[in-house]
Amino acid sequence: MTKNELVMYGVGDVAPYRDDLSSSFRHVAPLFQSGDLSFCQLEAVLSEQGDLSSCTRMGCSSRPEVAGALKEAGFDVVSFASNHALDYGRTAFKETLAHLRDAGLAVTGAGENETIARTYPILDVKGTKVAFLGYNSILPQGFWAEEARPGCNPARGITAYVPVEHDQPGTPCRMYTFPHPDDLKKMTEDIQKAKTEADIVIVSIHWGIHFKEAVLADYQRYYAHFAIDAGADLILGHHAHILKPIEIYKGKAIFYSLGNFAMEEVTDMLRDVKAKGQDMKTSKSHTEMTAISDAFKTTKRSFPMDSYLTMVAKWTVADGAIQRVSYLPAYLPEDGAPYVLEPADPLFQKVNGYMEKITAMEGMDTGYRLSEDGREVILI
């Protein structure tokens, strides 16, 4: 039986914090509402209780009403596998999960224990079953779920520092990263199982090197390739707060980072500023983090300016399979309400030029071509 053609969308990190939460999505809600399925990554804890965790470097939280605003904006699936998920402790973490579920959102990548964190939603979208698996590589101590501990579904990375000149103490090292063997085994098992239950398996991963232009960590490629080899049909990455290259592997698309989407400026996250008790832009923890990228030296806003170039991933499904994958160039302006760019807007080509540049920097040969109407960039 031929199934109806479906259109689905996915975006990166969202963390609205404002009086009118729905205004964060005022430009894009009609797009997501018109789609057959829409996904986002929730960066913030949705709770007004709890103290900052001792492992938290910079808190990220918002109000419980964000869950309803996401649903109203047209989102169906939310990953809460965030490095901020336990910023305000276990009670606030569990409260966030409850708010998301109560709003009618399917949640992936996090749970009250390991079993729940590994449990993935399967959505029946007009007869096509879509499984959404969520994982997190960016994990402060104690933020990953265990048998009786709440947290994120882990895809941890292991780092090895190998001296270039082993007989010369103090000389530089080469750095290699690999998937945690236990996490990789569980991930591939889950994907293989999901592939027997669903037509399409989508894997969402919070990972990578934040703010560093183009650069991917070795472990990301390992996880992505193993996931596709196990049966995944699409990889949606996030966390880096900037766009990263897109790779086509065995005919499947890997979005290494979808970038920021509906993210407020750091200085506008008022509860987190108060909880930290420091200026978020000048505190030691922030300035040590910003040293990773020279772009912080020239920014006019809280994030480097390339953090405001973003996209909406789009994939078309027919006959129970992904037929086409593309992206819509988008931008996050100073008012924090992202919008899809028109082809005539100079920012449209700026996003595309940025993607072509960083993809080449990582040695990938992904082809980016415009659709017939010139409004989206076709990958597959």
Supply the DSSP string of 50-114, one letter for each residue: ----TT-SS--EE-TTHHHHHHHTT--EEE---TTTTTTHHHHHHHHHHHHHHTT-EEESEESSH
According to DSSP, residue 297 is labeled G
Q: What's the rounded Cα separation, in Å, for the pair 226 and 21?
A: 38
Q: What's the rounded Cα separation, in Å, for the pair 236 and 41?
A: 10
Decide if 96 contacts 306 (C-beta within 8 A): no
Q: What's the rounded Cα separation, in Å, for the pair 239 and 187?
A: 19
Q: What's the rounded Cα separation, in Å, for the pair 121 and 298?
A: 42
> How high is the pLDDT of residue 1?
36
Written as one letter, the residue type at 361 is: M
- Would you kindly state where each structural domain of the chain is located, as residue ranges? 6-378
Read off the pLDDT of each residue in 161-186 and give the average, rounded to a whole number: 96
- List beta partners, residue 202: 132, 234
Q: What's the rounded Cα separation, in Å, for the pair 23 and 155?
A: 34
- List beta partners, residue 249: 252
- CB burial readout 36-73, b (16+ within 10 A) else e: bbbbbbbbbbbbeebebbeebbbbbbbbbebbbbbbeb
Measured at the CA of 337, the angle between CA 239 and CA 88, to 5 degrees, comes to 45
Burial (0-12, 13-18, 19+ Cβ within 10 Å), 270: exposed
Q: In the predicted model, is pLDDT for residue 281 greater than 80?
A: no
Q: In the predicted model, is pLDDT for residue 284 greater than 80?
A: no
Q: What's the rounded Cα separation, in Å, for the pair 73 and 75?
A: 6
Decide if 119 contacts 106 (C-beta within 8 A): no
> Tens digit of pLDDT for each residue in 91-127?
999 999 999 999 999 999 999 999 999 999 999 999 9
> Tens digit of pLDDT for each residue in 58-85?
899 999 999 999 999 999 999 999 999 9
Bigger pLDDT: 299 or 27?
Answer: 27
Q: In the predicted model, is pLDDT for residue 209 greater than 80?
A: yes
pLDDT cut 90: percent of the chain above it: 88
Written as one letter, the residue type at 348 is: F
> How high is the pLDDT of residue 270?
79
Instruction: At 12, give phi and psi (nearest 5°).
Output: -85, -140
> How high is the pLDDT of residue 157?
98
Q: Which tokens go with 99?
A: 């708010």
Burial (0-12, 13-18, 19+ Cβ within 10 Å), 215: middle
User: Which CATH class for the 6-378 domain?
Assistant: alpha beta
- Other Cβ atoms less than 10 A from the Cβ of 5: the count is 14
Written as one letter, the residue type at 307 is: S
> How high is the pLDDT of residue 100?
98
Cα distances from 62 to residues 30, 99, 308, 328, 379, in angstroms, run: 23, 12, 20, 27, 35
